[in-house]
Amino acid sequence: MEPIRMVDLQRQYQRDRAAFDAAMAGVIESTAFIGGPVVKGFADRLSDYLDGAHVLPCANGTDALQIALMALDLKTDDEVVTVPFTFVSTVEVVALMGAKPVFVDVDPATFNMDVDQLEAAITPKTKAIIPVHLYGQACDMAPLMAIAKRHGLPVIEDTAQAIGAAYRFGDDRLEKLGTIGTIGTTSFYPTKNLGAWGDGGAICTRDAELARKIKLITNHGSDRKYYYDSIGVNSRLDGLQAAILDVKLQRLDQYNQRRREAADAYDRAFADLEGVTTPYRAPYAQHVFHQYTLTIADGKRDALRQHLAEQDIPTMIYYPVPLHLSSAYGAYGYQAGDFPVSEELAGAVLSLPMHSELDHEQLDHITQAVRGFYAL
Ligand SMILES: *Cc1c(COP(=O)(O)O)cnc(C)c1O
């Protein structure tokens, strides 16, 4: 059996090695290392994939979030509503802008923002809402967008874990995540569903004026060399990363389909295990399983993790500390007990290996090892 990895970039590379090698060689021959036709071509194809939304590439998913906030003219002392159960970037960028992150707890089944609690977090200082589509599953966007609209607030979708996933509206219309809110951001960190071979990110929007503003910001606030219209940053996607991403974008739906098949196999194997909750499949969400995350009852999570490690099965905890309890964010005055679901999940979630290259033998080994723990 091939060694089991959380994410198997080696096998993904070997499967399409000729295409990846040719893409890299093309950029090296052209020496268009920053900007150039390969970056433009990838942005155009990602725009097509996202049903025509404007796509502005940038250096990483964290920058994408910060640039989105800059484009919305976020000011010191403004408030941004988001969740404490996410990767740090979502909250970090709000703090870096001098604004205040205001948290809404997550739903224990979906791990995403509990939209029923959203309205209570909105104040006259609120300037934006950032839902995170955690683990590859859509946040409940229809009610969220209705609340945002009622309060005249822009929505930034953090789509770092959910590129290719979609939300189904009441009229059965499917819309790709990242294109529903005012702005969508994503990351091409190597382990993401659409991963580069280094850092990368993108911002998308259906608003042409915002797209123009975002493009300026990514390039030092300038569209004419050495003339500056706004304060910007340096955040670029490089040619080598764009070339790899272009190869993978063509295969993204196939990669996500293989992830769903692995998730189905896990679901079947764990359906009757007491104390193990498999990921809830929201009826409105087309899930892309960035992570396959179990909720483990009765405080057994760490023991299960140890049991799997002994059989060479890696697992991860996303995330062990909710951000309102991280020492870096202590200044905002939140306390233990403020967001009980996030706190509970931090002690109970366990993510199993999940990627496009898991084979039957590996899946059998993993599922038998989990079942073995409960048979002890
Ligand atoms: C990965 C990730 C980011 C940040 O992306 P980088 O490219 O690593 O900066 C932001 N938000 C979420 C939810 C992520 O998972």
CB 38 within 8 A of CB 246: yes
- Phi and psi at 23, nearest 5°, equal -65, -45
What SS3 string covers 267-332?
Answer: HHHHCCCCCEECCCCCCCEECCCCCEEEEECCCCHHHHHHHHHCCCCCCECCCCCCHHHCHHHHHH
CA atoms within a 13 Å half-sphere pointing along the CA-CB vector of 328: 13
Pocket test residue of 60, 63, 89 for ligand 1, highest count of atoms within 8 A of CB:
89
Beta strands 100-103 and 166-168 are unpaired
Residue 160 CA to ligand 1 center (angstroms) comes to 5
The tens-digit pLDDT sequence of the chain (376 residues) is 999 999 999 999 999 999 999 999 999 999 999 999 999 999 999 999 999 999 999 999 999 999 999 999 999 999 999 999 999 999 999 999 999 999 999 999 999 999 999 999 999 999 999 999 999 999 999 999 999 999 999 999 999 999 999 999 999 999 999 999 999 999 999 999 999 999 999 999 999 999 999 999 999 999 889 999 899 999 999 999 999 999 999 999 999 999 999 999 999 999 999 999 999 999 999 999 999 999 999 999 999 999 999 999 999 999 999 999 999 998 899 999 999 999 999 999 999 999 999 999 999 999 999 999 999 8
Residue 318 is encoded by which pair of tokens? 């996303």
CB 367 within 8 A of CB 265: yes
Say which amino acid occupies 275: G
Q: What is the pTM of this model?
A: 0.98
Pocket test residue of 132, 187, 233, 237 for ligand 1, highest count of atoms within 8 A of CB:
187
CA angle 340, 332, 62 (to 5 degrees): 90
Ligand 1, atom 2, residue with closest C-alpha: 160
Full set of structural domains in the chain with CATH: 9-249 (3.40.640.10), 252-375 (3.90.1150.10)
